[in-house]
Structure 1
């Protein structure tokens, strides 16, 4: 006779229990390891923080310092040879199937020393969670067997594979390979789906790489970050304090002049600004030029649209040839494309003083207003209305 455990439940209830247990693990990863430890975008009450540490020890054997250091290095070296888990460099298959192994390989003393600062170093962390990392998952196996009997074997197996498959594999792999982009950040990060539920909101990977210090990962009205929902819930009980989730810049009705604050505001909100440039200038002008584009140049409209909006550092050489050909054959598209690059150059240039940046933006707006392109003229007025949001 098989031992049925202290909780003799039907199969459908056991499945729900397994999903609930793995969901706690995902919440622990996204709130504690990712938003709190790696990016410092979320303050957690010590009691809640330690619960997450303990749960991750039971279900993943993850060491906070190692995970934090590797993730910070990923952001610092994204899509380069030094990126610990870039599918662009290492290949999608390797990241999907060997995500945990890549983490283990990347946890070198040099990486931990450089990127592992400000992580827990108390007695429990040193002598239990780090020194005896495998004790936790062993204890979890015993607990599952006691509670669920023979069914505890597959429940434990699901718990052990959940984080490596979903977090290490899917987010680090698919999240840099397939999906949609709200913002043209300088790496290949993508939002897998707009509903961040299965992986706690981490599905919104492009949003995160664009604003890594924000505790809220959703950016569009239709996007769901379930991790943000938990943060708000914990905040009600004084257990969490989110940081960096409010836009730094806002628009002031009636503001018609460029000043130093305008420059600071659009620099701090630059990815949203360029997204608005795409919707307010590039897209309507391209629609006007659609027949010309499809007649004079291949690729046709849909591909031209993609290349015009793409972050320049991510355009492949053969696509760059298509883009150059498109712009050489259309003076209007060339003008609005060049203006978008000039605008981005304002915050890429290092060493310019605030007044120099302000004068450069004034000149950009003047040229846009004199361009004879209505959409550019209107966007110049749109830029002038920006200011810093009061603290």
Structure 2
């Protein structure tokens, strides 16, 4: 009979069906809402774009303008009192377990007006997806019951919980609380795992916050962004055009002259540059000093290794005092630490002519080469090799 479901499937098959449909929802969120709508890092063919819009209305009742505006506000106000869902401000438990509620609270007219620009405003968006945003999930419940009988109830429940748990809870909560950091961006974003398959690539959250306008979220050779795989597949059929995924700076073998292009290249590649500074200068110098100051540094070596390259605004006061104490008693560590911040200050200067930044970089390299610290001297030589990648 119909209430047993039009499709006679085993429990395993039903589970696979549920996972398959929720996976389409995840891909719709990461490709359409996140990379395409919020960050404009991906162009989508109108047919594909509208499929994602329909699917999200049908399975989540998400309104494109609301989601886009709240996410843009999150980036603009990250880890502050105005951040719609920062676990550093609101607490990890609240964000993980009440992520959907935080989204609803943040969808104010002011937020939509300021951050919801350049989102769909066509007839179907206004009169169906927005005006009747809950109609889709009601139809989904009816179709699930018709196709799967009583099993349709739990399949629908899974579909309703999928985005609030994994996107609003895990990514917005755990993605700013636990995990590893490839780059020291100005907020606490972290990569949850390197193999970003289950949540469409969004697990690579530190990479995204460092390069928010890149359509590709993986940055290391061992990292996997399944969303990027879908983008490349759609690109083969002319349905997608990724943007911002290629670094516009590169190291030119044999180049040893600083120029304006070097300054522009380093500024555009600054997070990777500072990651290299950590690997090429900070870590080997710290290891060297560890053997010279074993009693002071060795017991705290791993913590110091992180603190030396940590974004200053994210260091707790107790750790800040510990770091200051070590630097005060070690002139070599103090020198490489100060030089890292001097380098960052060059590209943070606003309203300065390119030639002035070039002069500042030349002065920085000159001081580094005269420092007597081999690793710092070698890094100054390495910086000179950077240039803009040809278009």
Q: CA deviation at 1:290?
A: 1.4
Once residues 42 and 363 of structure 2 are traced to their aligned partners in structure 1, the CA distance between those partners, rounded to angstroms, is 40
Once residues 251 and 297 of structure 2 are traced to their aligned partners in structure 1, the CA distance between those partners, rounded to angstroms, is 39
Residues 1:13 and 2:13 aligned together: yes
- Structure 2 partner of 1:333: 333
**1:114-169 deviation line (CA, Å, top 9, x unaligned):** 00000000000000000101100000001111111110000000000000000000
**1:305-342 deviation line (CA, Å, top 9, x unaligned):** 11101001111111110000010111111111111010
- Structure 1 partner of 2:189: 189
Q: Is the 8 A contact 2:6 2:148 kept in 1?
A: yes
Once residues 84 and 250 of structure 2 are traced to their aligned partners in structure 1, the CA distance between those partners, rounded to angstroms, is 37
- Structure 2 partner of 1:119: 119
Q: CA deviation at 1:274?
A: 0.2
- Structure 1 partner of 2:225: 225
**Matched residue pairs, number?**
391
**1:49-73 deviation line (CA, Å, top 9, x unaligned):** 0000000001110000000000000
- Structure 2 partner of 1:267: 267
The 3-state SS of whatever aligns with 1:133 is coil
- Structure 2 partner of 1:324: 324
- Structure 2 partner of 1:140: 140
Residues 1:251 and 2:261 aligned together: no
Unaligned regions of 5+ residues in structure 1, if any? none
- Structure 2 partner of 1:237: 237
Aligned CA RMSD, in angstroms, stands at 1.1
Q: Is the 8 A contact 2:290 2:298 kept in 1?
A: no
The 3-state SS of whatever aligns with 2:43 is strand
- Structure 2 partner of 1:63: 63
Once residues 116 and 294 of structure 2 are traced to their aligned partners in structure 1, the CA distance between those partners, rounded to angstroms, is 52
Once residues 310 and 257 of structure 2 are traced to their aligned partners in structure 1, the CA distance between those partners, rounded to angstroms, is 30
Residues 1:203 and 2:203 aligned together: yes
Q: CA deviation at 1:210?
A: 0.0
The 3-state SS of whatever aligns with 1:43 is strand
Q: Is the 8 A contact 1:181 1:190 kept in 2?
A: yes
Q: CA deviation at 1:2?
A: 8.6
Q: Is the 8 A contact 1:298 1:322 kept in 2?
A: no
The 3-state SS of whatever aligns with 2:250 is strand
Once residues 370 and 193 of structure 2 are traced to their aligned partners in structure 1, the CA distance between those partners, rounded to angstroms, is 41
The 3-state SS of whatever aligns with 1:241 is strand
Runs of 4+ aligned residues of structure 1 deviating over 2 Å after TM superposition are 1-4, 291-294, 296-299
Q: Is the 8 A contact 1:175 1:205 kept in 2?
A: yes
Q: CA deviation at 1:220?
A: 0.2
